Amino acid sequence: MPIIFDPNSRTFKLDTPHTSYVIEIIDGDYIIHRYFGAKIPDTDLTYMHFSRNIGSFFPNSPDTGIALGTQLMEYPTHGIGDFRASALMIRGVDGTATTDIRYISHRIYKGKPVLEGLPATYASENEAETLEIDAEDTHTGAVVTLVYTAFSCHDAITRSVRVKNASDKPFVLERIMSGGVDMPSSEYDLIHLWGHWAKERTPERTRLHHGKQSIESLRMSSGHQHNPFVALVSPDTNEDKGDAYGFNLVYSSSFVIEAEVDSFGATRLIAGINPTDFSWKLGAGETFTSPELVMVYSSEGIGEMSRTFHRLYTNNLCCRQWKGIKRPILVNNWEGTYFDFDDEKLISIARDAADLGIEMLVLDDGWFGTNRNNDDCDLGDWFVNEKKIRCGMKELSRQIHELGLKFGLWFEPEMISPISKLYDEHPDWCLHVDGRKCSPARRQYVLDYSRADVRDYIIDCMSSLIEEADIEYVKWDFNRNMTEIGSAILSPEQQKELTHRYVLGLYEVMQRLLDKFPNLLIEGCSGGGGRFDAGILYYAPQIWTSDDTDAIERIDIQYGTSYVYPASAMSAHLSASPNHQTWRDTSFETRGIVAMGGNFGYELDLNKLTEAERDAVRKQIADYNKYQKLVQEGDLYRLISPFKNRLHSAWEYVSPDKSEALLTFVVMRREIYSRYYFIKLRGLDPEKMYRSSEDGRVYSGALLMNGGVSMVRDFKDGDSIIVHFTEVK
């Protein structure tokens, strides 16, 4: 039983295979947080109760005398004496915002509910149990339901919140967080993933300090700058040992994650929709559902925290049609041709692709509108440019399919160019504020996805092309963030709902397309990896990781991304050398080895490959087909961080049954004397014997993990090696 309720102590205990989470209802029906951490057998944690009465600056509950500002609250609310960051603030018709929720009832059931209109992890009745705690704010008539799901197959607990207006008067949600945890200590480091365009998800680790540390987005997108993820880890936690708590929002719009250390040394971690410029009016009988927060605890360091996220997202989040299914190896023409292509050029690339064993051609930006020869115009005009695709999209697709390839197409469905037919016809379809100028970015504006007519238009355009040209894959791009956030159809009081309404509209469009085309593969993209989040993964099981395709830079980016997201979520392509973003030369082999850490593909002009490179492509494709399952379904061990000394990086995938492992080692920069290097593998069975694909010798798992694999040889800058270990019985 993953979830139990002990009526004597009025305690809920949620268990996953190795973790426990405990909530207690105390006098006054306040909902108190008791414990989150390694699994414990005890249910009754009432001994942890304390009541501090420490003076007039910590007001007491009028019902119990407890100062709520000293307690570990399960879902803290505004205005009742807990002066830390609140999770919920409701403004009633009387204009006040004091919010006071008290327990009224609960339910425990098998499985996991769907979050209406929102992406979320999913689970069968055997995989999880759910607890719903109802609480009430009698003054406004809000019924607040805290929803917790404990997975029985992963060390993960998810949270979300529903608020129902059970009164006959409206009220306004001014702040509604998905959840978080109050911890009785502040002895933690905070890890988060920062970045910018072409440098996404760089891990940063800092000590918690008194006051607030927060990461957030106000971009109406999760953004390149901060991923909606943080970890709280003990100061001595590393990849292999120590406490690691991971928190990740399943959400793609403006978010905030705050860690606040109070004056007693307790830490509050709270995450949800960014309350800046957000509110939501709930009329009588209406309900609002928050996005989902995923919480993972590992006592075995950051590595096991990441592997838990990987398993959970691979099996219970990423677009379910694609669960366990290998995605096609593709060639994308973007860095190969940019806007300079026509149907003949595409067919000649497709011919080479088919000859080399590539499985899909993706036609990137520039195929639509009338003048899309640069990024100045035509977004929104999703009809084929017959000056470039002279034979028409249907015929181009037929020829590509005839070569045995699948066919994919780039769209940027949320955008509109001011120079476009669509803008001429519907200037009010973009986000804008009457009387203010729109700020262009890449010379484009953003469509107002809170509008049903806009959503229908986009679905119609995309559906007719997908149908007509038999499109199997869509690269869904999104190349700017929002400004002048306003909608022509929302009332003044609803304008603050737009950041959330927009993303609900986006999720609806993706879902309707998938309902219509269940075999469609959507790849997310946002100027590279600017919207790489768990919300998008629910619809698009893979996301373009970064516009930086330099293999050495990609090691950093893929390393940081792997803190949360599995290899199967990252798209990674081999591109030309010197690289178009950094002008660095890297060997064909290393470019391939790094790209094999995700969904593999090519992003160059295949017509320009030499014979030797063509042979290398054939070998890479054979290798990728051999290792793809191990990489994408195996356990990742990050062995040498690229950030450690900028000299080397190494990582390893181990199959779930520990019968094989794949080691990748890259020399990012060679020192004058190459070092003696023995890389200790991890995650193997010490009792098993493994044969190395490199020297053919058989080693015990114990030796490979304790003595290590020899990397003593004359490596040069950018050299790399991949070694496969297979069990010998």
Q: Interface residues with ligand GLA (CB under 6 A)?
A: 334, 364-365, 375, 410, 477, 479, 525, 527-528, 544, 547
**Distance linking the first and last C-alpha atoms of the chain:** 38
| Strand partners of residue 415 | 446
CA distances from 569 to 250, 454, 543 (A): 14, 29, 6
Unique residue bearing structure tokens 């890449």 = 442
List residues with catalytic annotation: 477, 547
Write out the E strands in 7-101.
Answer: 11-15, 19-26, 30-38, 88-91
Residue 118 token pair = 């929102």
CA distance 538 to 542: 10
Query: What is the dihedral angle through the alpha carbons of 636, 640, 642, 643, rounded to the nearest 10 degrees?
Result: 110
CA distance 53 to 286: 39
Residue 124 token pair = 């069968």
Count the residues in the chain: 729
Longest dimension (CA), the chain: 81
Burial label, 434 (beta-carbon count in 10 A; 0-12, 13-18, 19+): exposed
Given CA atoms 232, 235, 239, 241 in this order, what sign does their dihedral have? negative
Count of other CB atoms within 10 angstroms of residue 325: 11
Write out the E strands in 86-235.
Answer: 88-91, 102-110, 128-137, 142-151, 156-165, 171-183, 189-196, 199-207, 211-216, 226-233
CA distance 317 to 309: 10
Residue 355 token pair = 């000859």
Residue 590's closest CA among 707, 680, 670, 661?
670
Minimum distance from residue 236 beta carbon to ligand GLA (Å):
39
Minimum distance from residue 297 beta carbon to ligand GLA (Å):
35
CB nearer ligand GLA, residue 544 or residue 637: 544
CB nearer ligand GLA, residue 251 or residue 410: 410
Minimum distance from residue 38 beta carbon to ligand GLA (Å):
41
